[in-house]
């Protein structure tokens, strides 16, 4: 299949490389052109503009946030440059509001829009083990299913309204942030009583919390391994904000999301923005003055 892929961060690069490995003809574009070089060495064509990347049957995008998507598709004119019948598959975590706007704008231009955000860190993307939630017209999803299979371990289909996939991804990231915050606070508590983070987290992630989310992030917290960031703190802050916005729109109170937003904002204010969002544990430790106690 002839595929364009725009947005080549750690996740997008890994996903595009799996499309190449699966035999698809992939054309890539990224705002920072140097990110294209590794994919070119694998056989991808490099486009000089997003419009040139969107010349195939499908365009996949993995841009950072709502602002980046608006800049490329609306302000940059990519939507108007795409040929009718093209399927655009968005893999990023976007707001419910923008997802609805994108679906309507694509339909007005004879384009298909599939929201297919992914769960998983860069190492899972590289191993093609992402979990993908997808929503859009059935025919469009059928068209792109071979691509989703090349990038992920499983795809969950959530109906024809793209915002369903968007809100599932937002809610899932809210749950992940909640797990990290709970481990951060619990670890601060045990450390204050002389139990190391490694010992405590080994206990709880080996039995009642023996799941990938707790085990992966628990190990990072125990090892204080926050760089390089697999999922940077500013992205976590953005996604919790998306959860709060979705809650406001549907009148769904999310009181703990407010706590998470403040914790993430505190981490950003402390200069931790280049760290993984598991560095929330540093916020809990600072609040407890653990370093001053020698714990």
Query: Which residues are designated catalytic?
Result: 169
How far is Cα 201 from Cα 199, in angstroms, rounded to an integer?
6
How far is Cα 219 from Cα 215, in angstroms, rounded to an integer?
6
278-294 burial: b if 16+ Cβ within 10 Å, else e: bbbbbbbbeebebeeee
Residue with tokens 């009718």: 84
CA distances from 119 to 125, 133, 155, 231, 232 (A): 9, 8, 10, 11, 15
CA distances from 144 to 6, 24, 160, 238, 253 (A): 16, 12, 14, 28, 36
**Closest by Cα among 268, 222, 61, 242 to 169:** 242
**Closest by Cα among 231, 168, 200, 209 to 10:** 231
Strand order in the sheet with 152-157: 118-119, 130-134, 152-157
């Amino acid at each position: 299949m002839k595929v364009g892929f725009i947005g080549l961060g750690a996740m997008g690069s890994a996903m595009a490389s799996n499309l190449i490995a699966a035999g698809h003809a992939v054309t890539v574009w990224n705002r920072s052109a140097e990110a294209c070089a590794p994919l070119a060495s694998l056989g991808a064509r490099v486009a000089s503009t997003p419009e040139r990347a969107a010349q195939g049957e499908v365009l996949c995008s993995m841009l950072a946030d709502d602002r980046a998507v608006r800049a490329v598709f609306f302000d940059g004119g990519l939507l108007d440059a795409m040929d009718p019948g093209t399927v655009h598959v968005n893999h990023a975590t976007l707001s419910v509001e923008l997802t609805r706007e994108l679906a309507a704008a694509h339909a007005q231009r004879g384009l298909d829009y599939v929201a297919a955000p992914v769960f998983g860190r860069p190492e899972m993307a590289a191993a093609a083990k992402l979990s993908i939630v997808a929503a859009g017209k059935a025919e469009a999803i059928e068209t792109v299913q071979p691509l989703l299979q090349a990038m992920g371990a499983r795809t969950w289909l959530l109906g024809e309204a793209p915002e369903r996939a968007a809100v599932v991804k937002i809610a899932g990231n809210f749950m992940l942030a909640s797990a990290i915050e709970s481990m951060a606070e619990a670890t601060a508590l045990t450390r204050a009583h002389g139990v190391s983070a490694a010992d405590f987290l080994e206990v709880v992630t080996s039995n009642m919390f023996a799941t990938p989310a707790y085990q992966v992030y628990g190990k990072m917290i125990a090892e204080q391994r926050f760089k390089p960031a697999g999922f940077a703190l500013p992205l976590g802050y953005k996604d919790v904000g998306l959860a709060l916005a979705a809650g406001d729109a549907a009148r769904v109170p999310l009181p703990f999301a407010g706590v998470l937003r403040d914790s993430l904002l505190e981490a950003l204010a402390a200069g931790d923005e280049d760290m993984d969002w598991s560095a929330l544990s540093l916020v809990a430790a600072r609040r407890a003055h653990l370093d001053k106690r020698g714990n």
